Structure 1
Amino acid sequence: MTDLRTSEIHHPAESELFDETLSCELALPAEFRIGSAVIRPGTAETLLRSVALVEDARSDDGHDDRSDATLQVQRLEAKLDLVMVLLGRLVRQSAQDLPLRPLRWSRRGIRIEQGMRTGAAAGSQGVIRLQPCDWLPDHIDLPVVIVAEAANGAGAHYLWLRFEGLSDALEMALERHLFRLHRRQIAEARRLR
């Protein structure tokens, strides 16, 4: 996860998407595509719920009673992790990788840093495709509307995107995922102190 300084970014879109709500700043494989597309929100919801189940199960293993059954389950999980890494490498060889982008993410939308200007007008529809976790080489597609676009002063551009048309279940899955990401960022910051 990267350390982006939001206080240095002064734009009205920052307030619209991130004020008084939980947000995370990190670098994720992501890309924005302008235009509407056929999106299956059930797929994104299922992926986020599955990721939550796996990650929550792993974090619950921190208790002290290390029985043989618990150690066997941990070994099995480690083997599955290795299989997932190998499978991920195979998928990446046959598919085009999403570029790693700095972004800020809340339940309302995303600010993504892009190399080139899109030239799209505010209010235009698009799709944000991102890989929600590093250990699973799969992505979710979320419908968005462009809020604003501006140069960042270093030759790249920020693009502020508001989620639109998400189901209640997908919104809840997104919020839960963001909470876990935020909790992980706090834990990493404490470890580095």
Structure 2
Amino acid sequence: MVAQVPVLDHPAEAELFADVLTCEAWLPAGWRGGDRQLPPQAGEALLRSIATAEDARSSDEGDERNELPQAFQRLEAKVDLMLNLIGRLARQQADALPLRAVRWSHNGLRIDSMQAWNSHLGDAGVALIEPASWLSDHLELPARVIGELATTDGQHHLWLRFAPLSPGLAEALDRHLFRLHRKQIAEARQARQG
């Protein structure tokens, strides 16, 4: 399903999303003041692993998939079910990230919530986001608050600009966002045709 995440009239929207590849999604996401708890290399490793898994899966979805023995297809389906189950169990923990509307680019992200963020312009901390729905693991990206807005519909919007990322993490994030964008275009096309 294509995410319905609104574009808002706020200076931070233009700062983070003007003239760059942008993705909208409903993902587990959050914000925490303070320093990272994971090493900086963990985010790059997570995004590269997701890319490897999704690239392998997308190449299997062509004609080659029909050539795989049925036993391998069943095994892959069972692994998918196990990953989904483990992900659901992990999300039931008290410290699981809540599902939120997110708009993001390689510059930063906007997270929408029904609760106030209690942050201030310039606050430094960590943007937390689960980049893949099938994997209950999250990225920690250093960020700074560049905007906050409460709208009349009860939503609280928080704009976060990423701190300079290492070249490897920046490249892995760009690749991940490109993959999400391509997937959203394909889903929108299917929705129009179906």
TM-score by length of 2: 0.89
Q: Do the aligned residues in 2 keep the contact of 1:25 with 1:104 (CA within 8 Å)?
A: yes
Q: Do the aligned residues in 1 keep the contact of 2:129 with 2:138 (CA within 8 Å)?
A: yes
Give 1:86's aligned residue.
Answer: 85
Give 1:4's aligned residue.
Answer: 5
Is 1:139 the counterpart of 2:138? The answer is: yes
Q: Do the aligned residues in 1 keep the contact of 2:91 with 2:97 (CA within 8 Å)?
A: no
Q: Do the aligned residues in 2 keep the contact of 1:39 with 1:143 (CA within 8 Å)?
A: no
Give 2:184's aligned residue.
Answer: 185
- CA apart distance, 1:4: 2.1
- CA apart distance, 1:86: 2.8
1:38-117 equivalence runs, <5 A: 38-65=37-64, 66-69=66-69, 71-94=70-93, 96-117=95-116
CA distance in 2, matches of 1:62, 1:131: 24
Unpaired runs of 5+ residues, structure 2, are none
TM-score by length of 1: 0.90
Q: Do the aligned residues in 2 keep the contact of 1:39 with 1:142 (CA within 8 Å)?
A: no
Residue identity over aligned pairs, in percent, reads 49
4+ aligned runs moved over 4 Å, structure 1:
none
CA distance in 1, matches of 2:36, 2:165: 14
Give 2:162's aligned residue.
Answer: 163
The CA RMSD over aligned residues, in Å, is 1.8
Unpaired runs of 5+ residues, structure 1, are none
Structure 2 CA distance for partners of 1:119 and 1:92, relative to 1, 3 Å: closer
- CA apart distance, 1:94: 4.4
CA distance in 1, matches of 2:158, 2:135: 25
1:11-26 equivalence runs, <5 A: 11-26=10-25
- CA apart distance, 1:93: 4.1
